[in-house]
Amino acid sequence: MANKHIQVYEQAFGEGRICELTGAPYGDIHHIDAKGQGGRKSMDFIENLMALCRDAHTFYGDKKQYKQWLKEWHLEYLEHHTPMYILRPDDPIFKEYLNHKYGNIRL
């Protein structure tokens, strides 16, 4: 049986989910506010759960400087169901990830 956070995400988006940033097959369901933060016993609600590929999760996950940006992007994804690389490819924080992964690129 899947973990509760995976069940909550699959209920909202189905099983064929993708990374909300890159469009790649997801690797992880990320808790934007970690379970140990925020004073809530359970952080397994859809507004706090974000599908990320392994590389994006490693780059952005649990880093304070990206938390608010992840929250804002995830709310936009909840509305449009379209990855960032399509809706906002010029976003400077997203470009940080692309430069980290692929080197200094121009978009």
Give the pLDDT confidence of 53-84 residue by residue, as tens digits: 999 999 998 899 999 999 999 999 999 989 98
Name which of 23-27, 88-92, 102-106 the model is least confident about.
102-106
Q: What is the pTM of this model?
A: 0.85
pLDDT at residue 23 in the model: 92
Confidence of residue 106 (pLDDT cuts 50, 70, 90): low
Dist. CA 86–CA 84, nearest whole Å: 5
Dist. CA 73–CA 97, nearest whole Å: 14
Dist. CA 55–CA 27, nearest whole Å: 9
pLDDT at residue 51 in the model: 95
